[in-house]
Amino acid sequence: MPHTVAWPSATPVTTSRLRLEPLRVEHAPEAVSVFDDVRLHSWTGGTPCTLEELEARYRRQSAGRSPDGGQGWLNWMLRRRADGRLVGTVQATLSRLDGGGYEAEVAWVVGSDYQGGGIGREGALAMAGWLREHGAVALTAHIHPRHEASMGIARALGLGATDEVVEGEAVWRCSSAMA
């Protein structure tokens, strides 16, 4: 039976260098060139998507919730303000907690050509702030145990590594800093 509880909808967020745009199918033609890079998949597995696959994925994700309504989906595209270039994405999968509020499982991807300048950190921090303002009481992330850049972003978000491992990735978690 589908859940009828409404989830928050992604809204635009601006930082000093970035615009976080709520995901739309229309982002796919521009995004396919940013994410069509096997180097990105050395950490996440899989292979780059074709334009058609990316459009289908964005169509599903931009619905804002899982088909059964049990999870909320928030996705933003990261765009540099200086030149309007699409450089990455941040996302959160929301799950309701028994005590109220929700947990957000967060992730980020920055195109290989744009890595190393703090864009992932800036985008993830902006997303985490938005999530806090909209009811998140806990954050989690799944990070490859050798991905130093993602571990640095997780630490910036206040997450700490746990002993839990899911599909080869360490689970990072924070709840106390979210209150």
Domain regions of the chain by residue span? 13-178
Give CA torsion, residues 50, 55, 59, 60, to 10 deg. Answer: 0
**158 vs 4, residue with greater confidence:** 158
Average pLDDT for the chain: 91
List, in sequence order, the alpha helices (H) in 5-135.
28-35, 41-44, 51-61, 119-133
pLDDT tens track for 78-129? 999 999 999 999 999 999 998 888 999 999 999 999 999 999 999 999 999 9
CATH number given to 13-178 = 3.40.630.30
* Tokens, residue 90: 């941040």
For residues 65 and 21, what is the distance between their CA atoms, to the nearest angstrom? 17
What letter does residue 88 receive in the DSSP assignment? E
Q: What is the mean pLDDT of residues 11-38?
A: 95
Q: Looking at residue 47, what is its pLDDT?
A: 81
Q: What is the pLDDT of residues 26-59, one digit of tens each?
A: 999 999 999 888 788 776 667 888 999 999 999 9
